Amino acid sequence: MIYFDNSATTRMDKNVLQTYEKVSQTINGNPSSLHLLGNYADGLLQQSRKQIADLMHVLPEEIYFTSGGTEGDNWAIKGTAIEKRQFGKHVITTAVEHPAVKESVGQLKMLGFDVTILPVDQSGRVSVSDLKEALRSDTILVSVMVVNNEVGSIQPIAEIGEVLKDYPTVHFHVDAVQAIGKVPLLLGKESRIDLATFSAHKFHGPKGMGFMYIKKGKKIAPLLNGGGQESGKRSGTENVAGAASMAKALRLVLEKSEEKQKDQREIKKYLVQQLEGYKKVSIFSQKEGAPHILCFALKGIRGEVMVHAFEKKDIYISTTSACSSRSGVGSSTLEAMHVPEKLATSAVRISLTDTNNLAEAKLFMGEFDQLYQQFKDIK
């Protein structure tokens, strides 16, 4: 089997699973309980938080455990809106965000907020000057993803941060779900980023687990009210096994991450070089984009046909994003990049992880060549 759909989800690492199992079986106190078992579980939870904070070069009190990327995005956006509503009702985001951002912003619009959606160029990137123009005195939030999940474009986060230095009261949220271990991301004092969303299952951690970075001194309202866990910011009994195994997965993915990125970049480069040799192939991902995502189309053949054709060969790729692939709508990122609709419906995505290798890419190209010959006369 060749698994090239790692941006949809990754396989849980064996060592991470060991931690998950061991913690679930042996450290089963509720961290909020008074007794020693509770204290012990709380100790592990805080140790996990500290490890994540250290790896991200931030403070432990800036890390909050969540259920994943969707919760993080919802929280950052709606939490900001609730917290800062008396200061303004204008929110800025981009045309290529994950649905968790797009739909959250949509809900704000229904509630009377004003929303600006920044366009992207053909490479899928927003322009900093568009952002400058969009900023207003009543802007409370700018939300921009770091790495696009469909084509892998990298947004100019540092430059946006520079612009926002003149707007210190605007919350700057980044969806970093696809970025972890793939592209560098500066958080902490030196960074303008206030909020960042992360999801464990994208880096070989458990599903249903994630974390949020909230810069010290920045406030967002909680969405989940209740028992006051996570310093009152995110109630719900703590998922200790999830937190510990996520901390481990994060450590593992960030170990030698530069080398791993280089390897994935090599695989991507090879695939691009090979695919460019085919006349009917269009490539949407940029060379300088994220090292692990490659989006392309074989003209005239719908994306889902390609997915199923490869599936029969035990190779797993996807139409653009897993989230939109079942709903039948085309790629909104490609649409925003002004890719013609007909071509966009042919798009497929390869997404890599550190366990993929060049041999798999070669096998993939062998199969692709056969399919190409089979499909080439079909219009």
Partner 1 sequence: MQYDEVMIRYGELSTKGKNKRIFISKLAQNVKFALQDFEELKVHGERDRMHLELNGADSDAVLKRLESIFGIQNYSPVRRLERDIELLKKVAVEMIEELYTDGKTFKVMTRRSDHDYELDTNDMNQLLGAEIFSKVEGIKVQMKKPDITLRVEIRNEGFFLSSKTVMGAGGLPVGASGKGMLMLSGGIDSPVAGYLTMKRGVNVEAVHFHSPPYTSPRALQKAKDLAAKLAAFSGSVQFIEVPFTEIQEEIKKIVPEGYLMTVTRRMMMRLTDRIREERKGLAIVNGESLGQVASQTLHSMIAINDVTATPVIRPVVSMDKNEIIEIAQKIDTFDLSIQPFEDCCTIFAPPAPKTQPKLEKARKYEERLDVEGLIERAMNGLVITKITVGDTLEAQQEADFSSLL
Stretch of 36-44, 79-87, 207-215, 271-279 lying at the interface with partner 1 (CB under 8 A):
36-44
Shortest Å, Cβ 280 to partner 1: 49
22 binds partner 1 (CB under 8 A): yes
Relative to beta strand 210-214, strand 281-283 is: unpaired
Tell me 86's DSSP state: T
Q: Is 48 in the site for partner 1 (CB under 8 A)?
A: yes
How many residues sit in the footprint of partner 1 (CB under 8 A)? 16
Query: Closest distance between partner 1 and the C-beta of residue 247, in Å?
Result: 5
First to last CA, the chain: 30
Which residue, 36 or 378, is less far from partner 1 as judged by CB? Answer: 36
Kindly tell me which residue out of 1, 36, 110, 378 binds partner 1, with binding defined by CB under 8 A. 36
Q: Assess 60 for contact with partner 1 (CB under 8 A).
A: no
For 185-234, give the DSSP string: ---STT----EEEEEGGGGTS-TT-EEEEE-TT-----SS-SS-TGGGTS
Residue 187 is a binding residue for partner 1 (CB under 8 A): no
248 binds partner 1 (CB under 8 A): yes
- Among residues 127, 103, 261, the alpha carbon closest in space to that of 182 is found at 261
Residue 54 or 114 with smaller CB distance to partner 1: 54
Does 19 help bind partner 1 (rule: CB under 8 A)? yes
Q: Is 372 in the site for partner 1 (CB under 8 A)?
A: no
CB closer to partner 1, 37 vs 117: 37
**Cα–Cα distance, 214 to 228 (Å, whole number):** 17
Residues 250-269 as x/- pattern, contact with partner 1 by CB under 8 A:
-x------------------
With b for 16 or more beta-carbon neighbours within 10 A and e for fewer, the 268-292 pattern comes to: beebbebbeebeebbebbbeebbbb
List the catalytic residues: 323
CB of 22 to partner 1, least distance (A): 6
Which residue shows structure tokens 């941006």?
7
Instruction: Give the residue from 167, 141, 156 showing the smallest Cα distance to 220.
Output: 141
Nearest distance from residue 48's CB to partner 1, in Å? Answer: 6
Q: What gap in Å lies between CA 121 and CA 103, rounded to an integer?
A: 22
Q: Does 44 interact with partner 1 (rule: CB under 8 A)?
A: yes
Site for partner 1 contains 127 (CB under 8 A) = no
115 Cβ contact list (under 8 Å, min separation 6):
90, 91, 92, 93, 105, 106, 108, 109
List residues near partner 1 by CB under 8 A: 19, 22-23, 34, 36, 39-40, 43-44, 47-48, 51, 244, 247-248, 251
